[in-house]
Structure 1
Amino acid sequence: MIRATEIHAREAHFHPDDTITLDEMQRHRRRMAMVSDGGIAFLLDLAETVRLRDGDGIGLDDGRILKVKAKAEPLYVVRGQNATHLLTLAWHLGNRHQAAQILEDHLLIRREPVLRAMLEGLKASVIEIDAPFDPEGGAYGGAHVASYDHGDAHAGHEATPHAHD
């Protein structure tokens, strides 16, 4: 079986031979059998667990490179009434160990009706969308420095997803 043991950062210049579309959970792996969008079967076999990001490349041992595409997932856009309120909402989510993507004026979290009820009870605005999810990696490894540079990685988040009220 073809093996993948090398990851190319999305900032690196590479020419992909195919793509692989993965949700956030599938993009946080060390070892797993996978199939590219074009049908290339391979074994992801990394030395340690890696959080793959949209645009990263997976290097196959036959020389081909697969470009990672982040799959849209059912999420909530969470907005506060002001910055302090948003920080309070983030604290409540963190207190419940919920993965969250932190953006300048809102949070993205996975859809969960109990959380929605809690957030709305705390006077948050909660909107359903389908979008790629790239949560913070955590304090004990796995955090990615580029998570604070949301320029091109998150451009159009709210224009592209299908928003529902």
Structure 2
Amino acid sequence: MLKVVGRSEHYHGAVLDNVVLPYALRQKGRFRALSQSNLDVGFFLTRGDVLHDGDFLHTECGQVLQVVAEKEAVVTASCSDWQTFAKACYHMGNRHVPMAIGERWLRFQPDHVLQNMVEVLGLTCRAHQAEFTPENGAYHSSHGGAGGHSHHHEHDDHGHSHSGHHH
């Protein structure tokens, strides 16, 4: 089993394989998955640190894998004006549901109550398959920023290089 012990946003070198993961797994610290070529991969990462599409995973033995966000069932709600969008974000935020936010669009996991609410507020909803990477919570984000866009990552800061030691 390959043991993933670190992650980074940038890496220049050979990538052994991709690991396609849904949001439910990308938010866990300890789990097992198969890579695209069926390698057994164990994850031993900091809890609460969500993996993003394109992140690099560093294994104990110096190999590097790359995260691919699995396409999954989502609802994307959009509108043409900022006030309607702001109201929808406010009401969704009050429900504390995981939500990805873009420019006048928001995305959430399928839920007919939430979909009905944003439609009543004036947004148009589309159910489809897409990557789901919700915003990090402002109070429990390991990235420190309170207003963060979902792709803020710290650089590889756990104090050692992965290039020199092979187990």
Q: Tell me by how many angstroms 1:119 deviates.
A: 1.6
Partner in structure 1 of residue 3 of structure 2: 3
Could you say which structure has the higher strand fraction? 1
CA contact (8 A) 1:136 1:143 kept: no
Two-structure CA RMSD over aligned residues (Å): 2.1
- Counterpart AA for 1:5: V
Aligned residue pair count? 149
Partner in structure 2 of residue 113 of structure 1: 112
1:50 matches 2:52: no
CA contact (8 A) 2:7 2:56 kept: yes
Partner in structure 2 of residue 88 of structure 1: 87
Q: Secondary structure at the match of 1:147?
A: coil
Alpha-carbon distance between aligned partners in 1 of 2:42 and 2:130, rounded to the nearest angstrom: 27
**With CA pairs under 8 Å and 6+ residues apart, which has the higher RCO, 1 or 2?**
2
CA offsets 1:31-58 (integer angstroms, 9 cap, x no match)? 1122212111122112443211111111
CA contact (8 A) 2:136 2:150 kept: no
Alpha-carbon distance between aligned partners in 2 of 1:143 and 1:83, rounded to the nearest angstrom: 29
CA contact (8 A) 1:7 1:56 kept: yes
CA contact (8 A) 2:80 2:104 kept: no
Runs of 5+ in structure 1 lacking a partner? 150-165
Runs of 5+ in structure 2 lacking a partner? 152-167
Q: Secondary structure at the match of 1:50?
A: coil
TM-score for both structures, normalised by structure 2: 0.79
Distance 1:87 1:31, change over 3 A: same
Once the two structures are aligned, what percentage of the paired residues are identical? 26
Q: Tell me by how many angstroms 1:147 deviates.
A: 2.5
